[in-house]
Structure 1
Amino acid sequence: MAELVKNPRVLKNVQDELRQVFDAKGRVDESNFDELKYLKLVIKETFRFHPTVPLLLPRESREPCQINGYDIPAKTRVLVNAWAMGRDPKYWNDAESFKPERFLEKSVDFNASSLEYIPFGAGRRMCPGMIYGPTIVELQLAMLLYHFDWILPDGMKPEDVKMTELFGTTSRRKHELFVIPVVKRPLPV
C-alpha cells in the first residue's frame, strides 16, 4: 500500500484493471484472477523492492567450490542478501524505483530460476509460503483496491511518504502508513 500511495500512476493502473475485471460482479473473487496481469506485476515488484526476509536463512556448502576466484571450503555458512540482490543495478534498470512494468520485459518468477529475483529463497529449501503468500496478498490487495480509493491525510503528498525500513529477521516499515479509505465500490448486500 505504501508504494501504491507513493506512486499514484501505479495505483490508478491497478485499480483501473481491478474495476474493469470485477465491476460486472460488483465484488472481487478468485475466479478472474488470471486476468489481473498488472496486479501480479505490482506484487512481483513489491517482493523485489521490499523482500519480507531481507537476509535469507543461512545456507551451508556441501563441498568445496570456487566462486569468482575465491576458494570456499565445505561446510561454509553463507547468508544471501535478497534485499541487495533486488536492488542491484547490474540486474535491474533504475533499481531504486518502483516500476511494476519492468516484469513485462524480464521473465522472472518466484520459482528461483533467476537468481537476481529470489524473494522466497532458492535451492532445495525454498520458503513453504511461496505459493500461499502471493495468493493471499493478491486477494487482500485486490479487495482493498477495488472497493476503496486511498488518500493521504492532512494534505500530505505522495513524495512525503517515508519508506525507511527496519531490518531484523523480517523487514518492516519504520514509519506507520496512514491513509484514508474512501468507499468507491460498496460491498454487495
Structure 2
Amino acid sequence: MKKLMLFLLISRYALSFSYAQDHVQQLITEIKAAKNIQCYYLGSHGSPSALFMKADTLSSLLTIEEQVQLFADTSRTLKYYCYHHLLSDKDNDSIAFNLLKQVINDTTEVEYLCSCFLRTRSFNGLLVEKYAHFMQAKYKDGNPTVLGGDRRVYMFPKPDKKTYKEKIKQLRSLIEQSASSAELLYYLQ
C-alpha cells in the first residue's frame, strides 16, 4: 500500500511538472508571435494588456537564470519582457546591465504599444529608457513607485541618491560607447 501511495504521489508531481513545462512553452510561443511590445495598460481606460499578463505569468514560472537564457532568443518581444521582469527586482541590476550591454547597438525598430499610442522605437532605446526609469524608481524616487506607462506600483527601498548617480553614470558611459549614442543620451534627460 505504501508503494502504491508513493507511486501515485510521484506520478502526480511528474504530471504537474510536465504540465508546467508545456504551459511555459505555450507562453513563450504566444509572446514571440506578438506583433508589438505592450506596456501594462492599453487603451484610454487602461485595460490590462493580455500580452503583458502572459509575460507576468511566464516570469513567475521561470528562474532568473532561465529568463537570462530566454534573453538570448531572437524575438525582441520576448527579450523585452524578460528584461522588464528582471529589472523589477533590485537584486538583478547587474544582470540587467550586462544584458543591456549585449543589445546596446541593436537599433532594430520595434512597435511599442502603451496606453493609446503605438510608436516605432529602436530596441536599444526602449531598453535604455526602461533601465533609466527603473534606476530612477529604485534609487532616486524610492518606495512605493509607479513606473511610467506600466501604472503598476513597485515596492523599492528608500532612496539612495549616491547609488542612483553611480548607475546613471555607468549607463551614460555605456551609451557613449554605442554607435547610436546621440539618440540614446536623450533617455537620460
Per the TM superposition, whether the score is higher than 0.5 is no
TM-score range, shorter chain: under 0.3
TM-score between both structures, scaled by the size of structure 2:
0.27
Which has the bigger relative contact order, CA under 8 A and spacing at least 6? 1
> 1 or 2, which has the higher helix percentage?
2
